[in-house]
Amino acid sequence: MEAAALTEVRTTLRPDPLPWIYRWRTNLLQTPAFGLVTILFGSLSLLISYFDKGGQIQHRIARVWARTSVWLTGCSLTVKGAENLSKCPVAVFACNHTSYMDTPVIFASLPVQFRILAKKELWPIPFIGWYLDRSGQLPIDTANPRASMASLGAAAKALRAGMPLFVFPEGARTPDGELGPFLSGAAYLAIRAQVPVIPMAVSGVYDLLPIHTRHFYPTKLTLSVGEPIDTTGMTVRQMDELNARIRNAVDGLRVGGHPETDPLASLEPGIIDSSLVD
């Protein structure tokens, strides 16, 4: 009964059709502003990358871009369980994938520098792709098994060198707000590098900007961070077992962090977690 209860959540609070005021505001104000700040911070990061070999300054620029992007949507952002991040300086961060806006939410929330394992299709996008390339993020070609293994090898090497890694184990955005099947990449990398997995879940971001839409609907956003999952002594034969544990943990966080209905007028845009301010 308890397991069944976890799946009984309202997956979206977004009205359909979306009222005209949100569509016009997105078209006339938010989208142009989002494009401008992406160009501005992307160009700045590209310039800094020639001097910032460790990536610390680029990561700070990415965080400012992310916070600005979240603010532009009119959403509030709360982080739950941030104390779990300090328990493991190096880990694989595994999170559900609900929207294009997941990435700004993640960068706005996490105070530590990390690398992202992301689809190679993002690299040709101007400014965003330039940042990903110059900041050392890791592309993965899901259509090419040999290239995928090479990317996983590079990711494991980064983990062993002390750099946390962020992964969307579903491999793509959810089409309906529900949690999809998990690919085994996060579990494989954690076992290969013998580092913990920290499960995470975003909530409310699907309502903000679902797949195949281009208009923002402001709501409360939450990033919930779970307890680390230890992988000490595990082997690749236990990869499926670990993958199931990761998915169950993310699902529990996702349901626990699902936002309540909240009128637009009551929202205060910004980041609501003083412990994550640099």
> Three-state SS string across 98-165, please?
CCCCHHHHHHHHCCCCCEEEEEHHHCCCCCHHHHHHHCCCEEECCCCHHHHHHHHHHHHHHHHCCCCE
Q: What is the pLDDT along the chain (278 residues), one digit of tens a residue?
A: 444 444 444 457 899 899 999 999 999 999 999 999 999 998 898 899 888 878 889 899 999 999 999 999 999 999 999 999 999 999 999 999 999 999 999 999 999 999 988 777 777 877 777 777 777 788 877 666 666 777 788 888 889 999 999 999 998 899 999 999 999 999 999 999 999 999 999 999 999 999 999 999 999 999 999 999 999 999 999 999 999 999 999 999 998 754 433 333 333 344 333 333 33
What is the DSSP secondary-structure string of 32-75?
HHHHHHHHHHHHHHHHHTTT-TTSHHHHHHHHHHHHHHHHHTT-
Best CA proximity match to 259, nearest among 33, 44, 16, 77: 77
Question: Helix (H) and strand (E) counts for the chain?
Answer: 10, 8
Best CA proximity match to 64, nearest among 94, 49, 44: 44
Please state, in angstroms and rounded to a whole number, the distance separating the CA atoms of residues 78 and 267: 12
Which pair of tokens denotes residue 188?
């494989």
Q: What is the pLDDT of residue 250?
A: 97
DSSP run (H or E) holding 197: strand 197-203
Q: What is the pLDDT of residue 144?
A: 66
Q: pTM for this structure? A: 0.84
Please state, in angstroms and rounded to a whole number, the distance separating the CA atoms of residues 166 and 90: 11
Taking the alpha carbons at both ends of the chain, their separation in whole angstroms is: 42
Indicate the pairing of strand 270-272 with strand 76-80.
Answer: parallel
For 20-272, the fitting CATH number among 2.60.40, 1.20.1070, 1.10.10, 3.40.1130 is: 3.40.1130
b/e map 34-50, b = 16+ CB within 10 Å? beebbeebbebbbebbe
